[in-house]
Amino acid sequence: MKKNLVKGVALVAVSILGVTGLSLAPANATAANKTVIVQEGNTLSGLNTAVNGKNLVTNVDVVYPTGSGFTYWNNKAQLVRNTAFGTFKITRNNCQTAVTTDELGCFSVTYTIKKGLKYSDGTLITAQDLLLSHAISSSDYSIKAGLGDPMSETGSKFDSAGYGGAYDDHTRANSFDLSDDNYSLTVKYDAFQPDWQIFGPGPGAVHALVALAKGKKSFQTARTNAAYKAAFEDAYYASYEALPAEGDEDYQDALDERTAARALMSKMAVKWSTVWNITTVTASTNPLLLISNGGFKISSCGASSCTLDKNPLASVSGAPKMTGNLDRIIFKFPATGTTFSDTAVGQAIQNGEVDLYSGSATASFWAMVSSDPGVVAARTSVAIYEHFDIRAGDALQSNATVNSDGNCAAPYDGPFKGSTQRAKDLRKAMLLVVPRQVIANTYVGKIFDPAFSGNSPVLNSSFSLTTEGDYAKVVAGSSSYVNDFAKDQTARNAMALALMKKYYPSAGPGSDSISVKMLTSTAARRVDIATQIQLQADKVGIKLTNTASTGWSGLLNCNNYDVATFAWSKSAISQTGTNPQYQSDGSNNRAGWNDPALDVLLKKFEGSLSATELVAAKIAAERQLWSNFWTIGEYQWPGVSAWNKDLKNVLPSPLNPNVVWNYWALGF
C-alpha cells in the first residue's frame, strides 16, 4: 500500500553501501530473459514509503513500479499527466473574492479515474480508493475521525509521514467529495494552492485494507471486494460526521454507527502502519500485501534483493503504456549490517551482473565504468544534497524503542538544546568547523578527475540547489550569514574557538569541552566525511564521537544523537517542498527545530507568488533559518549513472526515482 499523494518532496538519500549476492545471473544474460537488475545503495527497510521513517530512496525505488496515479515526473523534472490513469482539473477558483480564507472549497480540484482499470487481483479501481490519501494526510480528519492528533505525543493511529505542510494546513476533514458513480472525487481547499497539481490523491487498495482489518489472508471474490470498498467508504465518512442532538430519536443509532466506523478505521490504521513494514516476501506472504496497480508487482524479497514480475493486468492498471519488453525487475541491495565499496558495483556492471545503477560514486568507480565500451556512463544533474544537521530539541515522532543506543524517546538534553544565545553560539561553532570545501572537493571534483586541484561548489542554501536558477540571488540575500562560512578553515576555526571560550574558557585543541554524538552511515564516504569533521572539531574543544550505523536512517528521530550527516533527495519540484524540513510541525523535522518566526515566513510559500516574490520569500526564510544555526549544506551530489549498453531508454532524472521513473519504457 503506497502513498501517491506527494506533499513533502524530500526523501532520505543514501550512500552506496555496495553489492551482495552478485552471482544471480551469468554475464550479459539479462537481455535474453527480459530481466533488468538494478543496484540500490541501501538496504530495504519497508514497503510502505508513507510510514514515518520508511521514506528511504531504496524503498521508493522498489515500490515505484508497483503503483501509478494521476501524474509522474520525467527526466527533465517536468510533471506529466498520466491520462492512462485519469484526468483532473480545477473546478472552482474564487478565493480572491472569498470573505475569509476560511471558506472551504473556494479552490477545488476534481479528479476522475478512467473506468475499467483494475488492480492486479482483478478488483476495479474507483475513487473510493482515493479516500485513503486524505486519511493519512489530514490532521483535521484524523482528529475528527477519532484516530488521534498527529501532532500530539500519542500521534495518529495512522503512523503517516504525510501530516503537516500546505496540504494539511488548507484542507479539513470534509475536504473530499465522492461523485455518485464513485469514479470522480473533488478536493476542496480554503485557499489557492500553488502546488495543487502534485497534491492530488493517489489510489490505495482499500478493499485489501478492510480485508486485512478483518484478518483475511487471501484474495476475496469480486462481490466481497466491492462490499469491502463500500465498507471503507462508509467508515471513512461516518467516523467524522456530526451526531444529532443527544435527545434526538436517531442519536443512539448514529452513535452506534460512528462507534463501529471508528473501530474499523482504527483497525485499518494500525494495519496500514505496520503490515507493510517488511523486508521479506515469500510464497507464504499474505497476497493482500502485494496488490499492485503499476506495471509490476513484488514477487519476492530477501536479505539482498527484491524481485518484481510484470503485472498480468498491466494493460489496465492505470500505468503508462508498457512499451518496453521487460518481464522482471530485480533490485539488489546490501544485506542488513553489511558494507561494500562502490568498486564492487562498477565491477558488477562490467561483469553483466548488474544492469543499472545511479547514486554516489568515487573516482575509482567512475574510472571503471567510463572506460568500459560495454557500459554507458553518464554525468547527470541530480537534486540530492549532502548536509549536516544539529539537534535542538525532541523529534516529533520519537522512536520509543530501547535499543543499543538507549531510549531514543528520552528528552533531548545535549549541548545544543533550545533557542538560548548559548545554544545558538555552540551550534554556530559546530557548523563553522565543518570542512565543507575539503568535503566538496573530494566528492565532486575528484570524482571525475583525481588530479583536480580547484574548488568545487559548496551548498550555501537550504531552499535552492546550485543547479536552480534563483540560487545565486537567494545566497546573496543571506550573505550576512554565508560570509562567515565562506572564510577559510583557519579563520572559521578561530571564530568557533572564540564562541566556545565564551562558555568554556579553557576550550582548545583536545580539551573535550563538550561531547557531541554524531549519527552517520558505515559507507566509506560517510565515514571519511565524519572523520574530517572530527579532526576540525577537536581543534576547538569539541569531542565528536562518530557513531556509524548501517541502520542510520531508522535512528534519525533518536534524541540520543546531537548531530547527523546524510543527504536529502527531492522527488518533486514544489514551492512548499522544503517546508516539511523546517516547520516546527514538519513531517521531515527530525531534530526538534522550533521557531515560530520561521513558521510564519514558511507560510508565505503556500500562497501564490511571482518569481520575484518567491525569491524574496526564500531569502527571508533563509536568513531566519541561518539565525538558528541548525543546519548547513555541504555539497550537491554530482549525478552519476551507469548501465548495460544493451538496455534501452534509460533517461536518468534529477528527481527520485532517478533511473526507474520510466520503467514502462525500459527494455533490451
For residue 425, tell me if it sits in a domain.
yes
Q: What is the pLDDT of residue 72?
A: 97
> Within 10 Å of residue 121's Cβ, how many Cβ atoms?
20
For residue 124, tell me if it sits in a domain.
no
Instruction: Report the alpha-carbon distance of residue 223 to residue 8 in Å, rounded.
Output: 37
Q: Which residues contact 410 (CB under 8 A, 6 or more apart)?
A: 559, 560
Q: How far is CA 470 from CA 466, 476, 617, 618, 633, in A?
A: 9, 10, 12, 10, 16
Please report which confidence band the pLDDT of residue 307 belongs to, taking 50, 70 and 90 as the band edges. very high
Instruction: Report the alpha-carbon distance of residue 356 to residue 324 in Å, rounded.
Output: 15
pLDDT digits (tens, 9 = 90+) for 420-453: 999 999 999 999 999 999 999 999 999 999 899 9
Residues 396-409 as b/e (b if ≥16 CB within 10 A, e otherwise) read bbbbeeeeebeebb
Instruction: Report the alpha-carbon distance of residue 225 to residue 210 in Å, rounded.
Output: 9
Instruction: Report the alpha-carbon distance of residue 475 to residue 626 in Å, rounded.
Output: 11
Cell 579532526 belongs to residue? 535
pLDDT (mean) for 72-79: 96
Evaluate if residue 15 carries a pLDDT over 50. Answer: no
For the chain, percent of residues with pLDDT exceeding 90: 80
pLDDT digits (tens, 9 = 90+) for 240-256: 999 999 999 999 999 99
Return the higher-pLDDT residue of 144 and 54. Answer: 144
Q: Are 554 and 563 in contact (CB under 8 A)?
A: no
Q: What's the total number of domains in the chain? A: 1
Please report which confidence band the pLDDT of residue 102 belongs to, taking 50, 70 and 90 as the band edges. low
For residue 381, tell me if it sits in a domain.
no
Q: Are 469 and 612 in contact (CB under 8 A)?
A: no
Lowest mean pLDDT among 7-16, 186-195, 204-213, 529-538: 7-16
Instruction: Report the alpha-carbon distance of residue 370 to residue 367 in Å, rounded.
Output: 5
251-274 and 206-213 helices cross at what angle (nearest 10)?
A: 100
> Within 10 Å of residue 477's Cβ, how many Cβ atoms?
19
pLDDT (mean) for 4-30: 36
Burial of 454 (0-12, 13-18, 19+ CB in 10 A): exposed
pLDDT (mean) for 279-300: 98
Instruction: Report the alpha-carbon distance of residue 189 to residue 169 in Å, rounded.
Output: 9
Instruction: Report the alpha-carbon distance of residue 39 to residue 624 in Å, rounded.
Output: 40
For residue 154, tell me if it sits in a domain.
no
Evaluate if residue 374 carries a pLDDT over 80. Answer: yes
Lowest mean pLDDT among 56-70, 171-185, 347-361: 347-361
Instruction: Report the alpha-carbon distance of residue 71 to residue 318 in Å, rounded.
Output: 11
Please report which confidence band the pLDDT of residue 524 belongs to, taking 50, 70 and 90 as the band edges. confident
Q: Are 63 and 47 in contact (CB under 8 A)?
A: yes
pLDDT digits (tens, 9 = 90+) for 487-505: 999 999 999 999 999 999 9
Residue closest to 438 by CA, chosen among 359, 533, 542, 517: 533
Evaluate if residue 65 carries a pLDDT over 80. Answer: yes
Evaluate if residue 9 carries a pLDDT over 60. Answer: no
For residue 598, tell me if it sits in a domain.
yes
Q: Which residues contact 271 (CB under 8 A, 6 or more apart)?
A: 209, 212, 213
> Within 10 Å of residue 223's Cβ, how many Cβ atoms?
8
Please report which confidence band the pLDDT of residue 222 belongs to, taking 50, 70 and 90 as the band edges. very high
Q: What is the pLDDT of residue 505?
A: 98
The SS3 call for residue 301 is strand
Please report which confidence band the pLDDT of residue 339 belongs to, taking 50, 70 and 90 as the band edges. low
251-274 and 222-238 helices cross at what angle (nearest 10)?
A: 110
Q: What's the chain's average pLDDT?
A: 91
Q: How far is CA 486 from CA 103, 189, 426, 434, in A?
A: 47, 43, 19, 11
pLDDT (mean) for 569-589: 89
Return the higher-pLDDT residue of 409 and 252. Answer: 252
Residue 203, preceding peptide bond in cis (omega within 30° of 0) = no
How far out from the chain centre does Cα 33 lie?
33
Instruction: Report the alpha-carbon distance of residue 171 to residue 168 in Å, rounded.
Output: 6
Q: Are 604 and 622 in contact (CB under 8 A)?
A: no
For the chain, percent of residues with pLDDT exceeding 70: 93
Evaluate if residue 173 carries a pLDDT over 50. Answer: yes
Please report which confidence band the pLDDT of residue 549 belongs to, taking 50, 70 and 90 as the band edges. confident
Phi and psi at 349, nearest 5°, equal -65, -40
Instruction: Report the alpha-carbon distance of residue 428 to residue 390 in Å, rounded.
Output: 10
Phi and psi at 199, nearest 5°, equal -90, 5
Cell of 100: 475569509
Please report which confidence band the pLDDT of residue 18 belongs to, taking 50, 70 and 90 as the band edges. very low
Residue 35's DSSP bridge partners are 328
pLDDT (mean) for 201-214: 98
Q: What is the pLDDT of residue 279?
A: 96
Domain residues for the domain of 429 are 392-638
Evaluate if residue 145 carries a pLDDT over 60. Answer: yes
Q: Are 298 and 290 in contact (CB under 8 A)?
A: yes
Q: What is the pLDDT of residue 362?
A: 83
Cell 544565545 belongs to residue? 421
Residue closest to 153 by CA, chosen among 370, 353, 364, 396: 396
Task: Tell me 137's DSSP state.
Answer: T
pTM of the entire predicted model: 0.88
Q: What is the pLDDT of residue 397?
A: 53
For residue 241, tell me if it sits in a domain.
no
Evaluate if residue 26 carries a pLDDT over 70. Answer: no
Helix or strand run (H / E) with residue 544: strand 542-548
Q: How far is CA 410 from CA 42, 149, 359, 402, in A?
A: 28, 21, 35, 10
Evaluate if residue 24 carries a pLDDT over 90. Answer: no
For residue 444, tell me if it sits in a domain.
yes
Please report which confidence band the pLDDT of residue 405 belongs to, taking 50, 70 and 90 as the band edges. low
pLDDT (mean) for 364-384: 92
Q: What is the pLDDT of residue 14?
A: 32
For residue 541, tell me if it sits in a domain.
yes
Helix or strand run (H / E) with residue 110: strand 107-113
Phi and psi at 305, nearest 5°, equal -165, 160
Instruction: Report the alpha-carbon distance of residue 236 to residue 228 in Å, rounded.
Output: 12
Q: How far is CA 107 from CA 89, 96, 201, 380, 577, in A?
A: 11, 10, 16, 38, 20
User: Rg for the chain (alpha carbons), in Å?
Assistant: 25
Lowest mean pLDDT among 4-13, 235-244, 567-576: 4-13
Cell 556509524 belongs to residue? 548
> Within 10 Å of residue 22's Cβ, how many Cβ atoms?
19
Please report which confidence band the pLDDT of residue 17 belongs to, taking 50, 70 and 90 as the band edges. very low
Evaluate if residue 25 carries a pLDDT over 70. Answer: no
Phi and psi at 567, nearest 5°, equal -130, 150
Find the CATH number of the domain harbouring 489.
Answer: 3.10.105.10
Q: Are 357 and 38 in contact (CB under 8 A)?
A: yes
Evaluate if residue 30 carries a pLDDT over 90. Answer: no
- 563-570 and 514-520: which strand pairing? parallel
Please report which confidence band the pLDDT of residue 4 belongs to, taking 50, 70 and 90 as the band edges. very low
pLDDT (mean) for 181-192: 97
Q: What is the pLDDT of residue 3?
A: 36
pLDDT digits (tens, 9 = 90+) for 607-627: 889 999 999 999 999 999 999
